[in-house]
């Protein structure tokens, strides 16, 4: 299984050049059964990453372009009257895919953004009083533009908390961008990708993640990190138990990708910025984005032993 995961990472890295850490984090998020938020400028490869993962993992794929006029029914689906049968027939929306790209999610209104909440938390949607299960696996990759750009609606904290991880791709290194300019267009390489894992193998790997051992000492380290956010004065609020579970789950998946059956503090430290950065705010600026500096404080001030 781990050999196949290495092949998956290698194949995606051939498409998205120079972004090995971010690709590994994205796969970690999927293996931990979480959802991923990518915040970056347009044109950084966010959509390419989602398409590459879908093709290599053999997942059905739908892209939803979030705009200001998008309605919840455009995401979830609607019932349409069939005059031949005299009954309403449900037409599922693009949410009924295994990998859903919610593109530029913060350009839609809060009402449309919230249509994803039940899907991401429960793996199901309720439409017109009927609960409909979503496919398994179900993985949402949402992209958003920086909130400083015009025409955006900032995601509320309750929705940010549904994402296991948030990351940024950033500008490529000079060598990677040169290879990008001289090589074949990335979009033209995507159709050539072949699935490297089937659904049963992916499900089996996801089932193995909770079995990765975390010692009492390791769990105590996680608890010290979380407690610091609740007691230190610079934090506007502390991390929730959901965040604690997310941090440990992501660390287990990271350790699994590193071919280990146990978690070490370095695994927690590797995933900490992506798991908690979007959940933290500075007390002096609770509406701002001070999560990055707070994460660095945690890494520096909270001992692993």
Q: Which residues contact 217 (CB under 8 A, 6 or more apart)?
A: 305
Note the pLDDT tens digit of each residue in 292-302.
Answer: 889 999 999 99
Q: How confident is the model at residue 289 (pLDDT cuts 50, 70, 90)?
A: low
CB atoms near residue 226 (< 10 Å) = 20
Asked if the model's pLDDT at residue 150 lies above 60, the reply is no
- pLDDT at residue number 147: 63
- pLDDT at residue number 185: 78
Q: How confident is the model at residue 234 (pLDDT cuts 50, 70, 90)?
A: very high
- Average per-residue pLDDT for the chain: 90
Residue 95's nearest CA partner among 131, 130, 61 is 61
Helix, strand, coil percentages, rounded to 5, for the chain: 50, 15, 35
**Is residue 173 within 8 Å of 17, Cβ to Cβ?**
no
Tell me the Ramachandran region of residue 86: left when phi exceeds 0, alpha when psi lies from -120 to 50, beta otherwise.
left
Note the pLDDT tens digit of each residue in 54-102.
Answer: 999 999 999 999 988 898 889 999 888 777 777 878 889 999 999 999 9
Instruction: Write down the domain spans for the chain.
Output: 1-203, 212-301
Residue 110's nearest CA partner among 172, 156, 65 is 156
- pLDDT at residue number 290: 63
Query: How many whole angstroms separate alpha carbon 15 and alpha carbon 6?
Result: 15
Residue 99 is inside which H or E element, if any? strand 99-103
Query: How many whole angstroms separate alpha carbon 132 and alpha carbon 23?
Result: 31
Per DSSP, the three-state class of 130 is: strand
Angle between helix 265-276 and helix 216-231 axes, rounded to 10 deg:
30
Query: How many whole angstroms separate alpha carbon 78 and alpha carbon 105?
Result: 21
CATH architecture of the domain covering 212-301: Orthogonal Bundle (1.10)
Q: Would you say domain 1-203 falls under CATH 3.20.20.10? A: no
Note the pLDDT tens digit of each residue in 9-67.
Answer: 999 999 999 999 999 999 999 999 999 999 988 888 899 999 999 999 999 999 999 98
Query: How many whole angstroms separate alpha carbon 70 and alpha carbon 74?
Result: 7
Q: Per the structure block, which two tokens stand in for 14? A: 């051939």
Asked if the model's pLDDT at residue 155 lies above 90, the reply is no
- pLDDT at residue number 149: 59
- In the block, residue with structure tokens 């940010």: 160
Query: How many whole angstroms separate alpha carbon 76 and alpha carbon 289?
Result: 31
């Amino acid at each position: 299984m781990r050999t196949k995961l290495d092949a998956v990472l290698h194949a995606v890295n051939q498409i998205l050049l120079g972004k090995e850490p971010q690709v590994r984090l994205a796969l970690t998020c999927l293996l931990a059964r979480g959802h991923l938020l990518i915040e970056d400028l347009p044109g950084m490869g966010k959509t390419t990453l989602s398409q590459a993962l879908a093709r290599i993992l053999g997942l059905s794929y739908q892209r939803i372009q979030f705009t200001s006029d998008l309605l919840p029914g455009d995401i979830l689906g609607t019932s349409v009257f069939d005059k031949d049968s005299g009954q309403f027939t449900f037409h599922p929306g693009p949410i009924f895919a295994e990998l859903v790209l919610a593109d530029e999610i913060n350009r839609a209104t809060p009402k449309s953004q919230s249509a994803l909440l039940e899907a991401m938390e429960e793996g199901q949607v309720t439409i017109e009083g009927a609960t409909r299960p979503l496919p398994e696996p179900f993985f949402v990759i949402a992209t958003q533009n920086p909130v400083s750009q015009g025409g955006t609606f900032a995601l509320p904290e309750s929705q940010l908390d549904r994402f296991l991880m948030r990351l940024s791709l950033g500008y490529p290194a000079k060598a990677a961008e040169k290879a990008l300019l001289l090589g074949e267009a990335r979009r033209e390489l995507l159709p050539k990708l072949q699935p490297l894992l089937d659904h049963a193998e992916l499900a089996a790997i996801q089932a193995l993640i909770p079995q990765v051992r975390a010692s009492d000492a390791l769990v105590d380290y996680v608890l010290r990190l979380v407690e610091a956010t609740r007691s230190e004065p610079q934090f506007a609020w502390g991390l929730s138990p959901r965040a604690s579970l997310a941090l440990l789950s992501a660390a287990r998946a990271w350790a699994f990708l590193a071919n280990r059956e146990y978690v070490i503090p370095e695994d927690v430290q590797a995933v900490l910025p992506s798991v908690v950065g979007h959940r933290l705010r500075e007390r002096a600026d609770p509406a701002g984005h001070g999560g990055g500096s707070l994460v660095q404080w945690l890494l520096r001030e909270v001992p692993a032993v």
